[in-house]
């Protein structure tokens, strides 16, 4: 048996870590973040309903505005 360790260690030193790679990995191209196109028309309409409801009742939640906007849209008023 060699002095420097087991056969496994010999192979590990030969090909760069024993993971089967013969050359170093490249970095590759980084992905960029998608930029927002702004609020959709639905979000804008929900926000307008929310502001309207909030003026009447300060305890109004956004989910209430979503429900109200959905009702208005189905009725054709939005």
What DSSP designation does 22 have?
S
Residue 18 is predicted with a pLDDT of: 57
Residue 15 is predicted with a pLDDT of: 52
- Domains of the chain: which residue ranges? 39-78
Torsion over CA: 9, 11, 14, 17 (sign): negative
Kindly report the length of the chain. 78
Q: What is the phi-psi region of residue 76: left when phi exceeds 0, alpha when psi lies from -120 to 50, beta otherwise?
A: left
4-30 pLDDT tens trace: 666 665 555 555 555 666 777 777 888
32-73 pLDDT tens trace: 988 888 889 999 999 999 999 999 999 999 999 999 999 999
Give the contacts of 24 (CB within 8 A, at least 6 positions apart).
16
Distance CA 68, CA 6 (A): 73
Cβ 46 vs Cβ 65: under 8 Å:
yes
């Amino acid at each position: 048996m060699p002095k420097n360790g087991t056969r496994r260690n010999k192979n590990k030193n030969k090909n760069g870590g024993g993971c089967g790679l013969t050359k170093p990995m490249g970095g590759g191209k980084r992905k960029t973040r998608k930029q927002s196109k702004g609020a959709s028309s639905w979000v804008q309409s929900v926000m307008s309903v929310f502001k309207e409801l909030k003026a009447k009742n300060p305890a109004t939640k956004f989910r209430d505005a979503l429900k109200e906007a959905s009702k208005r849209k189905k009725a054709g008023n939005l």
